[in-house]
Structure 1
Amino acid sequence: MKRVIFLLLVILAVAASSQICSYQDILDYLNLTTDNSVFRLTRPVLDHTRPTVVHLDVYLYAILSVIEKTQTFVPFVWCSMRWINERIKWDPAHFCGIDRVSIPHEMVWKPDLFIYEMIEKDDSPKSPYLFLYNDGSIFKEEGLRIVSACNMDVHKFPFDTQKCNISIGSTLHCMDELLLQPFSNSSRATQFSKELIRIHGEWEFLHLLVSKSNLSYHDRLWDQLVYTVTMRRKPLLHVLNFLLPVLFFLTLDLASFFIADHRGEKLGFKITVLLAISVLLLILNDILPSMSSRTPLIATYCIVIFGLMLLSVLVTILVTYLLEKDAENLQRESWVDGDNTVKADNTKEEEQEHTLCSCISEASDAEKQHELVPISEEVSSSIQTGETHVLLLILDELKEMQKTLRVHHSCRSKGKYAMWAARINGAFFFLYVITVSLFLPLLYMEWTSETQ
């Protein structure tokens, strides 16, 4: 008898060891089919007073884009959820040790979770299956492309650090029906995200903070999990394409003070530089959002430099006007002096001729008195023919030399308007250099200071 029992046990053990099981056997055992509404219509609890606990994890996989103009944050995240269906259980020993099975997600109830900041429908491909474990726990993983609204502070653009929230909660079930718990804490979620992340783009991922919050509405509380993504902008591209060109234009405007003021090139050069800054301001307007809580520092940077260049153009116009007015006054004075000189020269010539004639007449009278007629005729003829001509030539040369000296003196001398122009130009250049020397370091300190 003992031998028969022993043989039966051996046969049963061999049969058990050679048993073939399938996933369908488990589904048949649970009566889990698409037509069975018990598992998918209502919240999967045996006691309605007991809430369903959903364990959730979100990891950042890529930062696709951050659009400041529309204040939109577009990441790609990997989301995993786990909850328990109290109506589902089986013993793996009865099914060849199978402890989990994958089923279509339409066959069981799923928590109605959504992202509060979502502004566009997710169009990323979804996994059609989820895992069902023998203890009733259900595990679901999927990737999400999130287009969410984010309140961005662009005060320190392009050296800014942004924080965008991904708030996850239930649409219908409040806290007494559905609770959310994170799988991982902040440090673990940050570490996993840095290992998983593939695309940074313009931004550098810094930290992923996990926190819980409650939403109150009509005396009811909804549980929420908030994932705060902290990221820092890479400013090199904006520095090379925007900040440095503006600084170069500022340097050119400072160098233009060494161009001569009486020429038109200085004013044209300054206006050209001013137009170049205007084009860069239009580019900045396309980048920054229309509304912001604080004025961006880069806008202050451009406006101050634009204002300095505008004042520089106005001062150049004023200096040019004063120099032209001074030149007109000097020309008018030279004309008056020339007329007076001509009149004085003519008067002197007449006096000299009158004196010469009187001398000749007196000499002739004296010669008549002494009866020296041959001698007087010889002297008179020699004076009229030789000495008079030489004296007139000397007077003409002296007049020409006097005019030349007067012209050189008028060109070299400065009038009162030219002196005022030189003073205004020097004072503005000094104030220009002082303003730039103070403004740029203060702006740099504000840019590099830590956000409170």
Structure 2
Amino acid sequence: PRESWPRKEGLTWSLFSIGRANAFTINCSGFDQYGVNPAVLQAIFDQKDFRPFINYSIPTHVNISFTLSAILEVNVQLQLLTSFLWVKMIWNNPFISWNPKECGNINKFAVTAENLWLPDIFIVESTDVDQIPEGLSAYMTHEGDIVYNKPARITSVCSLDIFYFPFDQQNCTLTFSSFIYTAETMSLGMDREVWEIVDTSRDIVFRQGEWELLGISKATLKTFVGSRLFDRIAFFLAIRRRPSLYVINLLVPSSFLIAIDALSFYLPAENENRAPFKITLLLGYNVFLLRMSDLLPASGTPLISVYFALCLSLMVVSLLETIFITHLLHLATTQPPPMPRWLHSLLLYCTGSRRCYPTAHQKENKGLGLTPSHLPGLKEPGELVGKEPGPREAKRNGGSELTRAQLTDLWMEFGCRMDTFLFRLYLLFLASSVITVIVLWNT
């Protein structure tokens, strides 16, 4: 059977007066054989409600470090960052010491944290109560150092800028401070170097979640709250969103749709399917925006929303251009209006021997397999433009200088030229807009 503990008198605390000694000394003989006797620690447990100090003028020094294990949520609408931390705090209790040689080289052992005095360190930016799990323990060393680790789910206020979404980078601050102990009674320091915190946290955060950790920097502050001076340590977290999900689900489909809309200009302008095709694309793009709205930030105006609005506007302008050209060609083939002299001269200047559209006479002749050279008296449209009409032709055209066939040919030529010009203008505006958006994202 296991040998019971000796009587309490064998393991006692020797409390010296302040003038003779400044610490409790634990007689720890038997700890390595029978375990820790809780009775000998009762004097320490009874002091848990008070800051452990021998000289009140000497502040308790608390070293702080943490490991960022997860970035759970970034709420743009509420401007909140929810993260999960493992916070580590180390301080010294001057009333704890023992000789490891008397305890089988036991240098430390764990004690339930609720039996010890704990510093009231909190995060200034936190918006909720830190709910610490029950039953946590802390390590006590033979020199009186207390090592306390606790998990913390922190929801903190962070100024978020989502203009560059989904290529955005955010900078948030976590400020550790005491709630009631001023700088005269508690000072804060670092348990580890910042680069060690970054390396450990980056290895964990890198493997999970939507965000990646870029870096952490710190600043030691002394802040007045009213007339009271508090010691604080501020950590600045730089995080970046992983954009692959949004590129695949948002940018790639949108780019495909706008590219198909640009290619639809190669359909013949007189084709009846050109306008319906653009309307179908426009409706499809609106359905795409409705389905993908859940992936966009709930508030603010990110650059990607401007990009989507720009693409939608270009598709609407493209449809309007098609309606205008179709209406112009319809007038040219049914009831061509008189052409202004300046427009006639411009077409004569810009038009070469090659035409974009055949005249009505050419279409009929091509159906029979004939060319203008096979038909006596029929000239090429380029030759008709400069030829003065006869009296009968002028009379049929309402007294104008050109016949109906010539007007039809000129208006269709004008429609072809306008379609080409507007298409090039569309491509220029599209390319400049996309390049501008890409440059802004890269900055």
Q: Which amino acid aligns with 2:314?
A: L
2:321 to 315, 324, 328: 315
**What whole-Å deviation, never above 9, does each CA across 1:285-324 have from its counterpart, x for those lacking one?**
53444544xx532222222222211211222222233333
Q: 1:434 maps to what in 2?
A: 428
Q: Which amino acid aligns with 1:305?
A: C
**Contact kept? 1:164, 1:229, Cα under 8 Å:** yes
Q: 2:144 maps to what in 1?
A: 136
User: Map of 1:33-48 to 2, 5 A cutoff?
Assistant: 36=46, 39-48=47-56
Report the CA distance between 1:54 and its aligned residue.
0.6
Report the CA distance between 1:136 and its aligned residue.
2.1
Q: Which amino acid aligns with 2:40?
A: Y
2:270 to 254, 257, 262: 262
Aligned length: 353
**Contact kept? 1:63, 1:75, Cα under 8 Å:** yes
Q: 2:343 maps to what in 1?
A: none
User: Map of 1:43-442 to 2, 5 A cutoff?
Assistant: 43-122=51-130, 125=133, 127-197=135-205, 199-282=207-290, 285-292=293-300, 295-329=301-335, 414=408, 418-442=412-436
For residues 131 and 31 of structure 2, what CA distance do their matches in structure 1 show?
44
For residues 117 and 138 of structure 2, what CA distance do their matches in structure 1 show?
11
**What whole-Å deviation, never above 9, does each CA across 1:119-138 have from its counterpart, x for those lacking one?**
34456745521112222221
Q: 1:31 maps to what in 2?
A: 42
**Contact kept? 1:55, 1:180, Cα under 8 Å:** yes
**CA gap 1:425/1:216 in 2 versus in 1, 3 angstroms:** farther
**Contact kept? 2:332, 2:407, Cα under 8 Å:** no
Flag structure 1 segments of 5+ consecutive residues without an equivalent: 1-15, 332-405
**Contact kept? 2:254, 2:285, Cα under 8 Å:** yes
**CA gap 1:246/1:18 in 2 versus in 1, 3 angstroms:** closer
Secondary structure of the 1:414 match is helix
For residues 75 and 43 of structure 2, what CA distance do their matches in structure 1 show?
46
Report the CA distance between 1:55 and its aligned residue.
0.5
For residues 17 and 218 of structure 1, what CA distance do their matches in structure 2 show?
51
**What whole-Å deviation, never above 9, does each CA across 1:30-68 have from its counterpart, x for those lacking one?**
43375x2xx211211122222111101111223334344
For residues 112 and 427 of structure 2, what CA distance do their matches in structure 1 show?
72
**Contact kept? 2:32, 2:106, Cα under 8 Å:** no
**What whole-Å deviation, never above 9, does each CA across 1:398-432 have from its counterpart, x for those lacking one?**
xxxxxxxx9xx967962665455434322211111
Secondary structure of the 1:184 match is coil
**Contact kept? 2:267, 2:274, Cα under 8 Å:** yes
**Contact kept? 2:246, 2:295, Cα under 8 Å:** no
User: Map of 1:2-13 to 2, 5 A cutoff?
Assistant: none
For residues 432 and 168 of structure 1, what CA distance do their matches in structure 2 show?
55
Q: Which amino acid aligns with 1:205?
A: L
**Contact kept? 1:62, 1:198, Cα under 8 Å:** no
Q: Which amino acid aligns with 2:123?
A: I
Report the CA distance between 1:263 and its aligned residue.
4.2
**Contact kept? 1:63, 1:76, Cα under 8 Å:** yes
Secondary structure of the 2:43 match is coil
Flag structure 2 segments of 5+ consecutive residues without an equivalent: 1-27, 338-396, 398-402
